[in-house]
C-alpha cells in the first residue's frame, strides 16, 4: 500500500479507537452508578478521563500531531485505564480484561515498534500491580486474596504477551500479502517485467528525483518489427516465447538502476536515470545491435527492433509527453525502414 494510503488508514483507525474509548467512558459513567454504589473519586476520574479523551480526539482530528498520533493515542488510552485499574482492584479489576487487546491494536494501527512499546509498558504495569496489589486502594471495596491476585496477574501477563505475538504474526502475514499483491499488480505475467502500473510508479519517482537533483533522465520506447508475421507463421505460443526472450535480453543488458517494462503488445519501454539523450541513443543502438544478432525461440527466429529515444525536458514536461515524443520518433524509425534508433526532435 502506498504510504499516503497507509497514513490515511492509520489516521481513520486511530479516530475510531478514540471514538470507541469516548463511548465506553460515557456509557460506563451513566450505567455503572445505576448498579454499583461508587465513590465520588471514581466518578470524577471518569469525568476527567472523558474530557481528556475528547480533547485528544480533536487534536488527532485536526492532524496537529500526525507523526505521533498513533503512539499518543495508545499512551493516552493507557493513562486513562491505569488509574481506573489502580482504584478498582488492580489485576482483579474487570477493566484489566481490556489490557490484552492493546498489543494487537497497536500492531494494527501503528506497527511492530508501537506494539512492542505498549507490550513492555503493560507487562511492567501488570507485574507491579500483581506484586504491589495490596498497596492499591480498591474503591469498589471488594476483597481479593493474595493467591487470587497472583493467579490473575500471571494469566493477564500471559494474555498480554500472547496478544503481542499474535500482533507480530498478523503484521508478518500482512507484509507478505501486500508484497505479493504489489508484485502481482505491477508485474507483466508473460515476461515477468514491470507492467504499465509498475512502470507508472517507478517513472514518477524517477521524474521527481531528476527534477530535484537536476540530473538527466531519458526514455526509450521499443517495438519488435514485423511481429505479426511471427504469430502468423509460427503461432501465438512461439510469439509469446520470442517476447519473453526479447524482454530478458533487453533486461540483461541494462544497468541495475534502469527500469524496463512491457508497454503493451510487442512494445517495451526503458527509463534511464542519470542519462542524457546522447547517452540513451548509445544504449539504444547497443540494444538494437544485440537483438539483431540474436535468434529467438527453438526456431532460431531472427528479430529486429525499432527504438524511439527522448529526454526529460524538466519544465512543462511529464511522463505522457515523453512517451508521446518517443512514440513519434519510433514511428519515424518504422517509416525509415525499421531496425533503427531515432531521436525525438
List active site positions: 266
Exposure string (b/e) for 106-129, b if CB count within 10 Å is 16 or more? bbbbbbeebbbbbbebbbebbeeb
| Residue 190: strand, helix, or coil | coil
* Segment interacting with ligand GTP (CB under 6 A) among 18-26, 172-180, 236-244, 276-284: 236-244
CA–CA dist 124, 137 (Å, integer):
19
CA–CA dist 186, 209 (Å, integer):
21
Cell of 169: 504474526
The residue number whose beta carbon is nearest to ligand GTP equals 239
| 114 is an interface residue for ligand GTP by CB under 6 A | no
Nearer to ligand GTP, 99 or 193 (CB): 193
How much helix, strand and coil, in percent to the nearest 5, is found in the chain?
Answer: 65, 10, 20
Nearer to ligand GTP, 153 or 333 (CB): 333
* Segment interacting with ligand GTP (CB under 6 A) among 13-21, 73-81, 156-164, 231-239: 231-239
- On the 0-12 / 13-18 / 19+ scale of CB atoms within 10 A, 161 is middle
| 101 is an interface residue for ligand GTP by CB under 6 A | no
Torsion sign, CA atoms 204, 205, 210, 216: negative
Exposure string (b/e) for 264-280, b if CB count within 10 Å is 16 or more? eebbbbbbbbbbebeeb
Binding characters for ligand GTP, 248-287, by CB under 6 A (x = yes): -----------------xx---------------------
| Residue 19: strand, helix, or coil | helix
CA–CA dist 208, 211 (Å, integer):
5
What is the nearest approach in angstroms of ligand GTP to the Cβ of residue 222? 11
**DSSP letter assigned to residue 134:** G
| 225 is an interface residue for ligand GTP by CB under 6 A | yes
Nearer to ligand GTP, 102 or 263 (CB): 263
**DSSP letter assigned to residue 145:** -
What is the nearest approach in angstroms of ligand GTP to the Cβ of residue 334? 5
| 233 is an interface residue for ligand GTP by CB under 6 A | no
Give me the phi and psi of 46, to 5 degrees please.
Answer: -65, -40
| 334 is an interface residue for ligand GTP by CB under 6 A | yes
What is the nearest approach in angstroms of ligand GTP to the Cβ of residue 258? 23
Binding characters for ligand GTP, 164-203, by CB under 6 A (x = yes): --------------------------x-------------
Nearer to ligand GTP, 163 or 297 (CB): 297
* Segment interacting with ligand GTP (CB under 6 A) among 199-207, 234-242, 310-318, 319-327: 234-242
| 231 is an interface residue for ligand GTP by CB under 6 A | yes
23: Cα separation from own chain's centroid:
31
**Among 69, 188, 223, 327, which residue sits at the site for ligand GTP (rule: CB under 6 A)?**
223
Write out the residues near ligand GTP by the rule CB under 6 A: 190, 223-228, 231, 236, 239-240, 243, 265-266, 334, 338
Amino acid at each position: 500500500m502506498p504510504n499516503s494510503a497507509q497514513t490515511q488508514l492509520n489516521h481513520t483507525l486511530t479516530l475510531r479507537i478514540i471514538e470507541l474509548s469516548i463511548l465506553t467512558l460515557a456509557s460506563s459513567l451513566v450505567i455503572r452508578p445505576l448498579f454499583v454504589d461508587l465513590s465520588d473519586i471514581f466518578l470524577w476520574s471518569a469525568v476527567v478521563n472523558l474530557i481528556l479523551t475528547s480533547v485528544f480526539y480533536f487534536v488527532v482530528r485536526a492532524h496537529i500531531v500526525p507523526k505521533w498520533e498513533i503512539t499518543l493515542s495508545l499512551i493516552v488510552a493507557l493513562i486513562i485505564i491505569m488509574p481506573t485499574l489502580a482504584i478498582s482492584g488492580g489485576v482483579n479489576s474487570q477493566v484489566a480484561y481490556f489490557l490484552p487487546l492493546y498489543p494487537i491494536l497497536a500492531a494494527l494501527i501503528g506497527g511492530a515498534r508501537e506494539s512492542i512499546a505498549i507490550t513492555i509498558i503493560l507487562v511492567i504495569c501488570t507485574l507491579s500491580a500483581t506484586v504491589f496489589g495490596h498497596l492499591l486502594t480498591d474503591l469498589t471495596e471488594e476483597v481479593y486474596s493474595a493467591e487470587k491476585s497472583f493467579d490473575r496477574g500471571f494469566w493477564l501477563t500471559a494474555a498480554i504477551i500472547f496478544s503481542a505475538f499474535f500482533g507480530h504474526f498478523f503484521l508478518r502475514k500482512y507484509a507478505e500479502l501486500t508484497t505479493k499483491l504489489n508484485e502481482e499488480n505491477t508485474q507483466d505475467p508473460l515476461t515477468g517485467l514491470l507492467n504499465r502500473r509498475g512502470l507508472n510508479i517507478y517513472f514518477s519517482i524517477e521524474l521527481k528525483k531528476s527534477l530535484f537533483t537536476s540530473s538527466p533522465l531519458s526514455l526509450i520506447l521499443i517495438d519488435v518489427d514485423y511481429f505479426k508475421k511471427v504469430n502468423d507463421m509460427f503461432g501465438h505460443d512461439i510469439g509469446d516465447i520470442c517476447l519473453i526472450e526479447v524482454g530478458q535480453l533487453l533486461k540483461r543488458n541494462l544497468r541495475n538502476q534502469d527500469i524496463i517494462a512491457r508497454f503493451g503488445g510487442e512494445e517495451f519501454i526503458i527509463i534511464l536515470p542519470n542519462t542524457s539523450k546522447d547517452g540513451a541513443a548509445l544504449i539504444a543502438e547497443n540494444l538494437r545491435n544485440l537483438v539483431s544478432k540474436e535468434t529467438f525461440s527453438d526456431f532460431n527466429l531472427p528479430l529486429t527492433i525499432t527504438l524511439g529515444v527522448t529526454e526529460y525536458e524538466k519544465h512543462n514536461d511529464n511522463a505522457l509527453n515523453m512517451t508521446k515524443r518517443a512514440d513519434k520518433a519510433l514511428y519515424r524509425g518504422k517509416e525509415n525502414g525499421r531496425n533503427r534508433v531515432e531521436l525525438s526532435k
